[in-house]
Amino acid sequence: MTKEERAKLEHLVAKVFTLAYELGTSTDELSREVRQLRFQTEDKDFQAALINLEHAFFMVAQSINILKEQTRNATIPTKKLA
């Protein structure tokens, strides 16, 4: 790996982790709002729809975690050279 490639990878990793943090924070905030709305309503159909939406937020959170993990894995070649 060249110095230029390493620099590009470090820049990319920083951007990915910044994006993941921002997405995670926004997802968490929206998920809490959905959960709160679900607890406030007595409409069973609406509650069911909100449960599905909460599940979708969970899947987004899982995807963000996978993105971070794979980004970390992309840095393994730089450690082999160190």
Give residue-wise pLDDT tens across range 22-70: 999 999 999 999 999 999 999 999 999 999 999 999 999 999 999 999 9
Does residue 68 form part of some domain? yes
User: Residue 19 sits in which domain range?
Assistant: 3-77
CB 61 within 8 Å of CB 27 = yes
Domain count of the fold of the chain: 1
Does residue 82 form part of some domain? no
Residue 5: pLDDT above 90?
A: no
**In the numeric block, which tokens belong to residue 48?**
């069911």
**Residue 7 one-letter amino acid:** A
**In the numeric block, which tokens belong to residue 71?**
């980004």
Does residue 32 form part of some domain? yes
Per-residue pLDDT at 82? 55
Per-residue pLDDT at 31? 96
Does residue 15 form part of some domain? yes
Per-residue pLDDT at 76? 85
Per-residue pLDDT at 81? 59
* 80 or 39, greater pLDDT: 39
**In the numeric block, which tokens belong to residue 63?**
């995807």
What is the pTM assigned to this prediction?
0.79
Does residue 52 form part of some domain? yes
Return the axis-axis angle of helices 3-40 and 44-74, rounded to nearest 10°: 170
